[in-house]
Structure 1
Amino acid sequence: MRRSAFAVVALAALAAGAASAAAAEFPDGDARRGAYLARLAGCIGCHTDAAAGGAPLAGGAAIETRFGTFRPPNITQHAEDGIGGWSIADFAQAVRQGLAPDGSPYYPAFPYPSYAAFSDQDIADLYAAFRTVPAAAGGRQGNDLSFPWSVRQGLHLWRALHLDAAPPPQDPARSEAWNRGAWIVEGPGHCGACHTPRGLLGGQDAEDALTGSSDGPGGGPGGGKVPAITAAALAEKGWTADSLATALQTGLGRSGDAFGGGMGEVVRHSTAWLTPADRAAVAAYLLEP
C-alpha cells in the first residue's frame, strides 16, 4: 500500500516537473502583443459566431467545404468546452503542429501549417492573451465530414505531406517592410488558405500560390470563387501599394465597393486592426514578389 502510494506521488511529481520544464522553455508572455497577433492570425473572426451573437472565441460559424462542414471550436478559458486546461506546451503543439494535447491531429481547416511560423515568443504572447479570455460554454458541436475525410487518423499522412515547420523565407536584399509582409502573408496571416487552390487531399498547390480558387474541388470556403492576389493579377486590376493598404483597413475596393463574404470578415476582424506599417508591409510583399 505504501509503495503504491509512493509510486503515485512520484509519478505526479514527475508529471508536474515535466510540465514545469516545458513551461520553462518559453519566455514570459505579453498579453497585449498576443492579442494583436490573435487579430493578425484571424483567431477572433474564425472562432466567434458574431452573426449569432456568440461569445468571443466560444466557437465560430460553420465553414462549408467540399470535404464537409467544419465548425471552429471554443478556445475560451472554459475548462471542459475550451482550452482552459491547456498548458503552454499543449497550446504550442496545437498551434504550430496541429496536434491536440492527447496527440490526435487537427484538420487543416485550422491553418496550423501557416502558424508554424510563430516563434516561441509569439506563442508565449498568444498564450498570455488567451488566458485573459473569459470562459464561455458551448462550441463543441464537432465537424460533419463525409467518408473518408471523417477518419481523423488519416491526417497523420496529411501532416507528413503538407506540414512544413520552416518559417517563411526572408530575403536580406529586400526591405524590412517586404520581409515583414512575407512573414504575415505566408505565415500567420494565412492568405493562401483561401487564395491558393487545393489539391485532391486538400493541400495547397504551391505552384499556383495566391492564384485564387474557383467553384468546385479547388474552391474556397463555402465553395465560392476567391480572386487571385498575385502581383500580376493585382497590377492588372490597377491596385497600388497605397490603395491595397487602404482596402485592408476600410474594406473598400478601388471603385468604392465594399468587400463581401469572407474577405469582408477578414477586414472587419483582422486587417482593420493591424498597424498601418503591417498593412503597408502586406501590400509591399503582394505587389513586389
Structure 2
Amino acid sequence: MPRRTLLAALIAAGAAFGLYWWLTSVPLAGAVTAPAFTPDIANGEVIFNAGGCASCHAVPNQPDRLKLGGGLAIPSPFGTFYAPNISPDKADGIGRWREEDFVNAVMRGVSPEGTHYFPAFPYTSYAHARPKDVRDLFGYLKTLPPVAGKVRDHDVPFPFNIRRNIGIWKLLFFDQQPFAPDLSRSAAWNRGAYLVNSFGHCAECHSPRNFLGGIIASQRFAGGPNPEGEGWVPNITQKGLSDWNEKDIAYFLETGQTPDGDSAGGSMTRVIKNISQLLEADRDAIATYVGSLPPVEGPPRPKKKTGEGS
C-alpha cells in the first residue's frame, strides 16, 4: 500500500475513533442542585411508591418491600440485568452517594464514576421528573434500613455490554425535556400525566420497542411483547381500555382487579403493591390521564399455536 494511502487510512480511522469517543462520552454538565436543601420525606415516600422502586430493588423472595438490597433478574432481548442495591448501606448500596450522584443517576443515567447506566434502569422516564422530587426521594431512601450484599454483574453479551455505546443510544432515544403541564387540562389530569410519564414510567413496559430497544413513539402506550420475554403487555390507550371508565382504572390500581373480575399478573402484581400505597387522589389522577389517552393501534399480537388455550 502506498505511503500516502496508508496515511490517509490512518487519519480516517483516527477521525472515526475520535468521533465515536466524542459521541459516546458522558457530558460534563451535571444535575443542578441547590447548596442548601431539606428533603420532604413524606413526598419522597410518595415518589418511592409512584416510581415502584420496590418492584425491582427489593430483595427477591422476602416479604419486606423496604429491604432494597436488589438482586431481581430482569430479562431482556439484550441479556439479563440485575437490579442493584439502592439501600443506604455504605459498602454495597448508595450510602456513600452524594445527592448530586443520585440526581445524575436517576435523571441522566450516569453513575457516580461517570459511566452510562444501561436503560434497563428507566431514567428515560425519570428524566421528566422535577429535581426536587428526585431529591426528596433520595432523602426518603436514606431513612430505610441498610442492606448488606453485593449484587452480581449483569449477564449481557458483547457488544451490548460496552457501556460507552449507550452514549449513542441516548442520542437516538433519550429525551430529557422536563415535564410541561398542559394548561388547558385540569390539575388532576396534569398530576396524572406527570406521574405516568416520569416516575410511573408506564410507557417503558406498555410500549413496543424497535430493534435497538428504543420505544416506538407512534405506538406509545399501545402495548406489545413483554420485554422480559414471556406474554403480552396490554394496550392502555382507549384502543385497549375502551370498556373501562376512570373508576375502573383507579380500582385496578388499588386492588389489581379488572372490571370483568380478572386480576393483575406477572410483574404488574409488584406494580400494584406500590401504586396501591399512593393517596387515592393520585390514583384517581393517574386514572384520569390514562383514561384520556387516544386510541392507538399496537403491534399485531401473534396468533396462538394450535392446541393452546383460548
Q: TM-score range by the shorter chain?
A: 0.7 to 0.9
Deviation at 1:265, TM superposition (A): 1.2
Query: Matched residues, percent identical?
Result: 39
Structure 2 partner of 1:273: 277
| Corresponding position of 1:262 | 267
- Following superposition, which runs of at least 4 residues in structure 1 exceed 3 angstroms of deviation? 22-26, 52-55
Separation (CA, whole Å) in 2 of partners of 1:152 and 1:253:
40
1:176 to 181, 187, 209: 187
Alignment partners' CA distance in 2, 1:240 and 1:23: 40
Q: Per the alignment, in what secondary structure is the counterpart of residue 70 of structure 1? A: strand
Shift of 1:274: 1.2
Q: 1:36 aligns with which of 22, 32, 46?
A: 46
Q: Which residue of 2 aligns with 1:231?
A: 238
Report the TM-score when normalising by structure 1: 0.86
CA separation in 2, counterparts of 1:93 and 1:255?
43
Distance 1:267 1:258, change over 3 A: same
Conserved 8 A contact 1:66-1:223: no
Where does the alignment leave 5 or more consecutive residues of structure 1 unmatched? 1-21
Task: Give 1:220's match in structure 2, choosing from 224, 227, 245.
Answer: 227
CA contact (8 A) 2:71 2:151 kept: no
Q: Check if 1:283 corresponds to 2:293.
A: no
Matches for 1:154-233 after TM superposition, within 5 Å = 154-214=165-225, 219-233=226-240
Larger radius of gyration: 2
Which amino acid in structure 2 is aligned with residue 278 of structure 1?
Answer: D
CA distance in 2, matches of 1:26, 1:122: 15
Aligned to 1:69, the other structure's residue is in SS state strand
SS in structure 2 at match of 1:234: coil
Residue equivalent to 1:240: 245
Q: Secondary structure at the match of 2:160?
A: coil
Partner-residue secondary structure (3-state), 2:267: helix
Structure-1 separation of matches of 2:178 and 2:33:
22
- Structure 1 residue 195: deviation in Å? 0.3
- Structure 1 residue 142 displacement after superposition: 1.7
Kept in 1, the 8 Å contact 2:129–2:194? The answer is no
Three-state SS of the structure 2 residue aligned to 1:273 is coil
Aligned residues: 261
Matched letter for residue 240 of structure 1:
N
Native 8 Å contact 1:194 1:221 kept in 2:
no
Post-superposition shift, 1:185? 1.1
Q: Which residue of 1 aligns with 2:131?
A: 120
Cα shift at 1:161:
1.6
Matched-pair contact (CA < 8 Å) for 1:26–1:121: no
DSSP-derived class of the 1:202 partner: coil
- Residue 76 of structure 1 aligns with which residue? 87
Please give the alpha-carbon distance, in whole angstroms, between the structure 1 residues aligned to 2:48 and 2:61. Answer: 20
Give 1:167 shift. Answer: 2.3
Q: Distance in 2 between matches of 1:188 and 1:59?
A: 19
- When residues 274 and 167 of structure 1 are mapped into structure 2, their CA distance, relative to the original with a 3 A threshold, is same
Partner of 2:304: none
- In the TM superposition, 1:7-26 aligns within 5 A as 24-25=34-35
CA contact (8 A) 1:63 1:222 kept: no
User: TM-score scaled by structure 2?
Assistant: 0.80
- Letter of the structure 2 residue corresponding to residue 65 of structure 1: S
Deviations 1:233-285 (A, max 9, x none): 201xx1110011001000111122211101111101x2111111111111111
Richer in helix (by share): 1
- Which residue is 1:249 aligned to? 254
1:46 aligns with 2:51: no
Q: Residue 8 of structure 1 corresponds to which residue in structure 2?
A: none
Cα 1:26–1:144 shift into 2, 3 Å: farther
Find the counterpart in structure 2 of residue 14 from structure 1: none
After superposition, the CA RMSD in angstroms is: 1.7
Asked if the contact 1:195/1:220 (under 8 Å) is kept, the reply is no
